[in-house]
């Protein structure tokens, strides 16, 4: 049996499992772990396979990552969980929900989802691969983080959140980062599949996000049958860190809603 991914957890109550982006680790949800625990939830933030102390997996695909996520949810013995995914983690959350919708009671997709087209996917991945190649020629992940994070934040980003985003990215293993970037363009769940996913979904993005621009989240909200979209002003690719107050307020309100059966 494959090893379960490692995770941090706090609080008790309904389980909210948070899945980070390729650009970080469980620390990118540190504010939300505390907020959710204080609000009566069991907050769980994983380290994606290959990140932190989580063992890598082969093949490194969305199918395998989603199965790892679902295995963790099963091990938590929580029943249906709410999945909160950021960036690549949003795509893992979608894949998990498609595979086992009964295990997912709510979805929150933060600054992530299928790219609008091949060019949009390339625009997300190319700067990161270029920075990684520069790192391999000299420098470290700290230098990569200091190069990339300022390029993708919004004009109103909370300085403490930006520092945390940079710190989390600086902790990523270069080999795992490359594998994640290579996997990013392979997400293949199209509109026909996603249109059958009847899970209450909140999409949250920044109006200044150049990785997952508003148009991409608006398009996804039109495809998913039970979705709504929240656009945060002056925010870039890390809504949960750049404007944690607005993000957390929306998250808690969404999680607290009664489920409406269709």
Q: What is the pLDDT of residue 261?
A: 55
Question: Mean pLDDT over residues 118-122, rounded?
Answer: 85
Q: What is the mean pLDDT of residues 107-118?
A: 92
Q: What value does the mean pLDDT take over residues 230-243? A: 98
Q: Work out the percent of the chain whose per-residue pLDDT is above 70.
A: 97
Please name which of 176, 240, 214 lies closest in space to residue 47, comparing C-alpha atoms: 176
Is residue 118 pLDDT above 80, yes or no?
A: yes
DSSP string for 189-205:
--HHHHTT--S-EEEEE
Higher pLDDT, 260 or 225: 225
pLDDT band, very low/low/confident/very high, at 1 (cuts 50, 70, 90): very low
Task: Give the C-alpha separation, 16 to 262, whole Å.
Answer: 23
Mean per-residue pLDDT, 246-261 = 90
Contact 99, 193 (CB under 8 A): no
pLDDT, one tens digit per residue, over 207-235 is: 999 999 999 999 999 999 999 999 999 99
First and final CA of the chain: distance in angstroms?
Answer: 37
| Least confident residue range of 47-56, 127-136, 152-161 | 127-136
Domain boundary assignment for the chain: 7-256
Q: How confident is the model at residue 119 (pLDDT cuts 50, 70, 90)?
A: confident
pLDDT higher for 138 or 79? 79
Residue 40 predicted with pLDDT over 60: yes
Residue 149 has pLDDT above 80, yes or no: yes
* 61-81 confidence digits (pLDDT tens): 999 999 999 999 999 988 899
Following CA atoms 42, 6, 175, 85 in sequence, which dihedral angle do they give, to the nearest 10 degrees? -20
Q: Which residues of 161-180 are buried (b: 16+ CB within 10 A; e: fewer)?
A: bbebbbbbbbbbeeebbbbb
CATH of domain 7-256: 3.40.50.1820
Q: Supply the pLDDT for residue 133.
A: 85
Distance CA 217, CA 213 (A): 7
pLDDT at 101 over 90: yes
Q: What is the mean pLDDT of residues 136-150?
A: 87
């Amino acid at each position: 049996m494959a090893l379960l991914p490692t995770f941090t957890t706090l609080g008790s109550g309904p389980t909210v499992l948070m899945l980070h982006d390729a650009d970080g680790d469980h620390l990118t949800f540190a504010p939300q772990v505390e907020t959710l625990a204080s609000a009566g939830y069991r907050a769980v933030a994983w380290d994606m396979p290959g990140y932190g102390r989580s063992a890598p997996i082969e093949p490194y695909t969305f199918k395998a990552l989603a199965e790892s996520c679902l295995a963790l949810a099963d091990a938590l013995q929580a029943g249906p969980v709410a999945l909160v995914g950021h960036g690549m983690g949003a795509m893992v959350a979608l894949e998990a929900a498609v595979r086992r919708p009964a295990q997912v009671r709510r979805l929150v997709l933060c600054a992530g989802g299928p790219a609008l087209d091949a060019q949009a996917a390339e625009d997300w991945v190319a700067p990161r691969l270029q920075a990684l190649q520069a790192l391999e020629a000299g420098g470290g992940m700290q230098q990569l983080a200091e190069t990339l994070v300022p390029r993708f934040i919004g004009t109103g980003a909370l300085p403490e959140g930006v520092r945390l985003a940079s710190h989390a990215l600086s902790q990523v293993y270069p080999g795992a980062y490359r594998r994640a970037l290579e996997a990013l363009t392979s997400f293949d769940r199209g509109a026909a599949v996603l249109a059958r996913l009847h899970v209450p979904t909140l999409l949250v993005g920044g109006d200044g996000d150049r990785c997952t621009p508003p148009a991409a989240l608006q398009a996804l909200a039109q495809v998913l049958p039970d979705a709504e979209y929240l656009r945060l002003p002056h925010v870039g690719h890390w809504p949960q860190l750049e404007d944690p107050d607005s993000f957390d307020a929306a998250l808690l309100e969404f999680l607290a809603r009664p489920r409406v059966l269709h």
